[in-house]
Amino acid sequence: MIASLSTGMILGFSAGMAPGPLLALVISETLQYGARAGIKVALAPVLTDLPIILLTLFVLSRLSGLDTLLGLISLGGGVFLCYLAWQGLTFSGSPMGAEAAPRARSLQKAVLVNVLSPHPYLFWLTVGGPVTVRALEHAWFAGAAFIGSFYLLMVGAKMGIAVLVGRSRRLLCGRPYIYTMRALGGMLLLLALFLLHDGLVLIGVILP
């Protein structure tokens, strides 16, 4: 339960802070229309990701007896997290501004941006899905804790950025944001190592 909660919080906060299409849209809307518009955009994943999660869990549950395949998926998730960790550890400031995202004036446009982005699908197939399946093997509320903490921190972080951008246009070039991204990169690297270890155990390369 505690492990699921803490893992969801780390991954959620990292996803909320990391540059990407949705964060660019949060910033663009905030700069154009104020923090309230940015906060609305930040809520888009809550409206779009449920079908992705359910489909991923359905597919992975059918593969629960195939340790080798699950191991390969875990290894893929570990590599994906290593890539995200590298982005965080080498982060030196975001060039995103009002011109970096499509000009959108509605939550519907934000939902479209999130649905068409590959990040949610890739994350839930390689990282979020396997973590949730393992948590559900212990108890249903462990899986719920992971998903709930992930979205609470991800959406909350984006909302926080919207509020701060509304007050300071120079936020994304500031040192606090850079240091935060690098620290998150280090935490993601640790999670990547755990996923890689689990993958190697499942395919029989190392003993549990």
The whole model's pTM is what? 0.76
Contact at 8 Å (CB) between 54 and 189? no
Task: Tell me which residue of 2, 128, 112, 142 sits closest to 55, measured CA to CA.
Answer: 128
Q: pLDDT tens for residues 34-67?
A: 888 889 889 999 988 999 899 888 888 777 666 7
> Per-residue pLDDT for 106 more than 60?
no
Q: How confident is the model at residue 182 (pLDDT cuts 50, 70, 90)?
A: confident
Query: Does 158 reside within a domain?
Result: yes
The count of structural domains within the chain is 1
Range of lowest pLDDT (40-44, 112-116, 186-190, 191-195): 112-116
Query: Does 112 reside within a domain?
Result: yes
Query: Does 18 reside within a domain?
Result: yes
Query: Does 57 reside within a domain?
Result: yes
Q: How far apart are CA 131 and CA 192, in angstroms?
A: 12
Q: How far apart are CA 121 and CA 127, in angstroms?
A: 10
The domain in which residue 171 lies consists of 2-202
- Quote the tokens at residue 83: 């890539």
Query: Does 208 reside within a domain?
Result: no
Q: How confident is the model at residue 172 (pLDDT cuts 50, 70, 90)?
A: low
Q: pLDDT tens for residues 92-103?
A: 865 444 444 444
Q: What is the mean pLDDT of the chain?
A: 81
- How high is the pLDDT of residue 171? 59
Q: How far apart are CA 28 and CA 185, in angstroms?
A: 25
Give the pLDDT mean for 9-14. 93
- How high is the pLDDT of residue 43? 93
Q: Provide the CB-side half-sphere exposure for 65 (13 A, CA).
A: 1
Query: Does 65 reside within a domain?
Result: yes
Cβ neighbours around 165 below 10 Å, total = 22
Give the pLDDT mean for 118-146. 87
Q: How far apart are CA 98 and CA 169, in angstroms?
A: 10
Query: Does 207 reside within a domain?
Result: no
